[in-house]
Amino acid sequence: MQAFTAEQKMLRDTIANFAEKEVAPLAYEIDRDERFPTESFKRLAELGVLGITVPAEYGGAGTGYTEMCIVTEELARFCASTSATYADHADLCIDNIRRNATDNQKKKYLPSLCSGDKIGGLAMTEPSAGSDVMSMNLRAERKGGFYILNGTKTFITNGPVGDVFVIYAKTAPEKKAQGVSAFIVENDFPGFERGKKFEKMGWRGSPTGELVFEDCKVPAENLLGEENKGAIVLMSGLNTERIVLGAMSLGISRGACECALKYAKERIQFGKPIAAFQLIQAKLADMAMEIELSHLITYKGAAMADRGLHRELNLVAAYAKLYTSEAAMRVTTEAVQVLGGYGYMKEFPVERMMRDAKLQTIGGGTSEIQRIIIAREILND
């Protein structure tokens, strides 16, 4: 296992304890009711981990991606939705602003995001631009001191509840990827509307929705990075997003495996605990191995991100995203199998974990896209 520092171990123990005592008891309910985990979000703010990568002067904890992964993993062990809520806010919104904003923008937005007074999100995806994100159509036209945004973003985590979003739009559509710009957009800017909220298979406590922009007036000072350089802002976050999603997949796998191990020792069939059967042992052994490998690749990536090895991270982040998400799908599916009929019932968390795990192979770049990135890297393309 990765050698964590004493501070990182303390953080892990604190979040593990919080997750077991306060997040786990809500996991069933927020999944059933498809509701945002407000209580847990507030407690994460009190624990001081929302702005985990943000310097103290802007209200953050001043640590790094390893710490962000530790929090994400420990939450996902009991509730992927709460983990997704955290990662979307802390990584996709807050960390993006930390990396790319001006000092004035940081002073304006980071303190209220780090304190949890504001909920953050990030919007790239559009109804016709998913994996091919640079084909986005959301238009931003400069008019005096404002950019006027028109178009729709879809599948946006925290979309139905968020206050501050990093939004990508085309300022020069003819220049394709070189014509994308990034903006910080508040929910009360004129012309900002929330569209529909989606009903989902998993991640049901993490609300997902559309954002609609109709002549939305965004002050010019809310441009994030330079005009037409939004692709740099966008790409700057993809690798760390994939590492953090790796931590989430790892947490889901651990939660499912722990449940299967406990059940296998307690469930008696043919006069023995089912853990005594070699076919069950083989499943448990594979789960443990996949968890160990998920841990190694995730925290290798997090350590590289902390050391600023961004070029090298491209390949490792794709490995981490792909391996951990597909491992989580295998581990949760086998956990359901170990529990037999009970695994299919909502009395046990493994059926929810299996539904949650499926998103891991889709969001933040699908498994197919990760394989394309890996192939390009190894072919030196």
Measured in Å, how far apart are the chain's first and last C-alpha atoms?
Answer: 33
Of residues 70, 67, 166, 190, the one with CA closest to residue 113 = 166
- Indicate the DSSP class of residue 124: -
Which one of the listed residues 74, 241, 290, 334 is annotated catalytic?
A: 241
Helices (H), ranges, 19-95? 24-33, 38-46, 65-76, 80-87
Query: What are the structure tokens assigned to 9, written together?
Result: 């171990």
Q: Which of 162, 207, 349, 363 binds ligand FAD (CB under 6 A)?
A: 363
* Binding flags for ligand FAD, 123-162, as an x/- string (CB under 6 A): xxx----xx-----------------------xxx-----
The span of 186-194, 200-208, 310-318, 349-357 binding ligand FAD (CB under 6 A) equals: 200-208
Alpha-carbon Rg of the chain, whole angstroms?
Answer: 21
Nearer to ligand FAD, 60 or 364 (CB): 364
Minimal distance, residue 303 CB to ligand FAD, in Å? 25
The span of 19-27, 122-130, 231-239, 335-343 binding ligand FAD (CB under 6 A) equals: 122-130
- Indicate the DSSP class of residue 158: T
Nearer to ligand FAD, 124 or 161 (CB): 124
Minimal distance, residue 376 CB to ligand FAD, in Å? 11
Q: Which of 33, 215, 292, 368 binds ligand FAD (CB under 6 A)?
A: 368
The Cα–Cα gap between 290 and 287 comes to 5
Minimal distance, residue 370 CB to ligand FAD, in Å? 9
Which residues make Cβ contacts (< 8 Å) with residue 375, sequence separation at least 6?
381
Residue 241 annotated in active site: yes
Say if residues 115 and 89 touch (Cβ distance below 8 Å). no
The span of 98-106, 173-181, 251-259, 362-370 binding ligand FAD (CB under 6 A) equals: 362-370
Nearer to ligand FAD, 121 or 301 (CB): 121
Closest residue to ligand FAD, Cβ-based?
A: 130
The Cα–Cα gap between 67 and 116 comes to 18
Q: Which residues pair with 183 in a beta bridge?
A: 167, 223
The Cα–Cα gap between 53 and 43 comes to 18
Q: What residues make contact with ligand FAD under the rule CB under 6 A?
A: 88, 121-125, 130-131, 155-157, 200, 203, 208, 359, 362-366, 368-369, 372
> Which residues are catalytically annotated?
241
